[in-house]
Amino acid sequence: MTLPRFLMICALLLAIPSRTQAEPLPELHRGLNLSSWLANAPRQPVFARDFAQIKRVGFDHVRLPFNPEYVGFALTPHSNTTPPIDFISLDRAIAMAEQYDLPVVLDLHPGGPFMETLEHHVWAENSFVNLWTIIAERYKDHDSSHLIFELLNEPQYYRSEALWNKLAARTVNAIHAISPDRVLIVGAPHGSEIDALAFLQPINDPRVIYAFHFYEPYLVTHQGIHMGFEKKMIRSFRNMPYPSSRATESALLYAPTAPDPREAQAELQDYKTAPWDAAHIKARIDIARDWADLHHVHLVCGEFGVLRNHIDQESRYSWIKDARSAMDADGIGWEIWDYSDLFGIAPPTHPSAPDPVDGSVRLSDPDHGSRAFEPEALAALGLSEGSP
């Protein structure tokens, strides 16, 4: 090869932008979880009018949890067998978000049995990767900055973190073999808690963002929860205020029916001793920021919020404001949990009906009902009606 020809080839190669130059990562700053629609309890259908107001108040993306079993997929030991998948509901949801220029984080959000099977069977891992290749193929022509894939909500793997790291890397490679520019989100194990970021192995891929969830302390965010915490003392608590300096010294005021009063008192004492306030929350969020800085990766908080039924509004929105402010200060994007269910910030207005069991409120006439953002919620999140 002559020198002039060699120099010409070098010049051409240098002129080709790298993938990271051509496709910068999307800005995931202010997101909202659309829960209890295509995952969890499917009782909060979302409509175009909802997307319109979500965009109007200043959210810049939505996180769409979906249970693959709701669309016909099941883990199977037969790797060559693909259960039929009904994409109609996902297609419709993505299309509505696109109509209002809201990027979507498509979050795989299965139930407990699915998660348990995935963690303990190699054949289930093969089926899981197969699922994501099907999804990647389905949406390969969608703009990579407007449709992001989150591999798995709150991976468990409490004693097998290495298995999750291996499966995540394998799944990322499989998706990028089909859709090279697709942005992917990988959550930390141990239910995506902050401290579990230490067990998460970053993948050598510039199109991956990492996720954690933040609900600390559970004594505030999940007090009085109806399901999923049957053996936790927090089920007995009501009206625990935030910050902890507002709490009295006696747990009897907040948990008079606790099965073990001494344990309830110890929970309260831990809460007050911390103490839990804006500075303590900031110190916890800083752990996530420091991990991201150490590994030179991007990070998002996929969930944070407070159960609305058993806490006063001032405490609830003070916690949300402090958590949001800490993430903003650390340059971490966030996705509030959730839009309109048990942790909702835009409850149904009229007509609506409460659930007598868990206290959730749903539209009694979904085709004509409406939801409205609480002004205190928007203020806590730094948003407002008519935000840019």
**Digit-coded pLDDT (tens) for 300-349:** 999 999 999 999 999 999 999 999 999 999 999 999 999 999 999 999 98
With 70 as the cut, is the pLDDT of residue 188 above it?
A: yes
| Six-digit token string for 180 | 């090279």
| Six-digit token string for 320 | 């949300």
Q: Residue 79 — very low, low, confident or very high, per pLDDT cuts 50/70/90?
A: low
At 377 the pLDDT is 97
Q: What is d(CA 51, CA 2) in angstroms, rounded to the nearest whole number?
A: 59
Q: Residue 231 — very low, low, confident or very high, per pLDDT cuts 50/70/90?
A: low
Q: What is d(CA 218, CA 234) in angstroms, rounded to the nearest whole number?
A: 7
Question: What percent of the chain is modeled with pLDDT above 90?
Answer: 78
What is the average pLDDT across 263-288?
A: 97
Neighbours of 317 (CB within 10 A): 23
Give residue-wise pLDDT tens across range 193-225.
999 999 999 999 999 999 999 999 999 999 998
Q: In this structure, are residues 343 and 350 in contact, taking their beta carbons and an 8 Å threshold?
A: no
Q: CA-CA distances (angstroms) from residue 314 to 234, 252, 301, 345?
A: 20, 22, 23, 13
At 358 the pLDDT is 81
DSSP character at residue 331: T
What is the average pLDDT across 264-278?
A: 96
Q: In this structure, are residues 38 and 70 in contact, taking their beta carbons and an 8 Å threshold?
A: yes
Q: Name the class of domain 25-216+277-380.
A: alpha beta
At 230 the pLDDT is 61
pTM of the predicted structure, to 2 decimals: 0.91
**Nearest Cα residue to 373 out of 94, 64, 58:** 58
At 13 the pLDDT is 34
Q: Residue 81 — very low, low, confident or very high, per pLDDT cuts 50/70/90?
A: low
**Nearest Cα residue to 265 out of 277, 280, 247, 278:** 247
Cis peptide bond N-terminal to 338, omega within 30: yes
At 386 the pLDDT is 60
Least confident residue range of 69-78, 293-302, 347-356: 347-356
At 14 the pLDDT is 35
Identity (one letter) of the amino acid at 115? M
At 83 the pLDDT is 67
Q: Residue 153 — very low, low, confident or very high, per pLDDT cuts 50/70/90?
A: very high
Query: Which ranges of 184-258 would DSSP assign to H, the alpha helix?
Result: 189-192, 218-221
What is the average pLDDT across 75-101?
A: 87
At 356 the pLDDT is 78
Q: CA-CA distances (angstroms) from residue 212 to 154, 193, 253, 265, 384?
A: 8, 6, 33, 30, 26
At 27 the pLDDT is 82
Q: Residue 5 — very low, low, confident or very high, per pLDDT cuts 50/70/90?
A: very low
At 77 the pLDDT is 86
At 359 the pLDDT is 81
Give residue-wise pLDDT tens across range 106-132.
999 999 999 999 999 999 999 999 999
Indicate the average pLDDT of the chain. 90
**Nearest Cα residue to 251 out of 226, 270, 229:** 270
At 22 the pLDDT is 43
Contacts of 339 (CB under 8 A, 6+ apart): 32, 33, 34, 35, 44, 46, 50, 54, 345, 346, 371
Q: What is the longest distance spanned by two Cα atoms in the chain?
A: 87
Tokens 């994501």 found at: 132
β partners of residue 51: none
Q: What is d(CA 202, CA 296) in angstroms, rounded to the nearest whole number?
A: 9
Q: In this structure, are residues 66 and 107 in contact, taking their beta carbons and an 8 Å threshold?
A: yes
